[in-house]
Amino acid sequence: MKNEVTDYNIDDLDRDKQTTWDGVRNYQARNFMRDDMCVGDLAFFYHSNADPSGVAGVMKIIKTKITDPTQFEKKGKYYDEKATKAVPRWFCVEVQFVKNLKNFVGLPEIKQNKKLKGILVAQKGTRLSVQPVSKEHFKEIIRMSSV
DNA sequence: GCCAACGTTGGC
DNA sequence: GCCAACGTTGGC
């Protein structure tokens, strides 16, 4: 799960302990949160627009299928006039801080690692802010962060 | 700040 | 339903 590092990063989550991952306005990203995430799942916190960008920490999904409250906030950045309380359009999840990676795993290292071949985040044109990571890739990134 | 890639919008 | 125009993402 990506977020711009200057906007909200792993240290903010460490301080807050948990947060609602709202404001996602892409259908594919929404579908991953709505349909594929389960309570107890682990997720990476990825810093985008960082120097370098990459995986900073681990979080746990503690609540799923939350109706994104920001779609109803008229003056907010994420307001969606087509969403109604009866038929909401955007859903999100609640995440809990698990840990900072001992060592940050940058996108260049991810791209160089042959064991991470096919990982979505390293593919050209993949801009999704929420995307799946296979168990093997997840373990490999954890391994990279602890050496 | 540039730009490639891709999503969304709206005219027809 | 096509597709051009426009907007956004995000690495570099």
User: Buried b vs exposed e over A61-81: b needs ≥16 C-beta within 10 Å?
Assistant: beebebebebbbeeeeebebe
User: Can you give the residue ranges of every domain in chain A?
Assistant: 2-146
Its pTM stands at 0.93
- A101 SS3 class: strand
Is the minimum distance from the CB of A84 to strand B below 7 Å?
A: no
Q: Which nucleotide shows the minimum CA-to-C1' distance to residue A29?
A: B7
Is the minimum distance from the CB of A125 to strand B below 7 Å?
A: yes
For domain A2-146, give the CATH number: 3.10.590.10
Is the minimum distance from the CB of A122 to strand C below 7 Å?
A: no
Is the minimum distance from the CB of A28 to strand B below 7 Å?
A: yes
| Per-residue pLDDT at A67 | 95
| Per-residue pLDDT at A124 | 85
pLDDT of A25 higher than 90: yes
How far apart CA A60 and CA A81 sit, in angstroms, is 31
| Per-residue pLDDT at A82 | 85
Query: Mean pLDDT across the stretch A98-106?
Result: 96
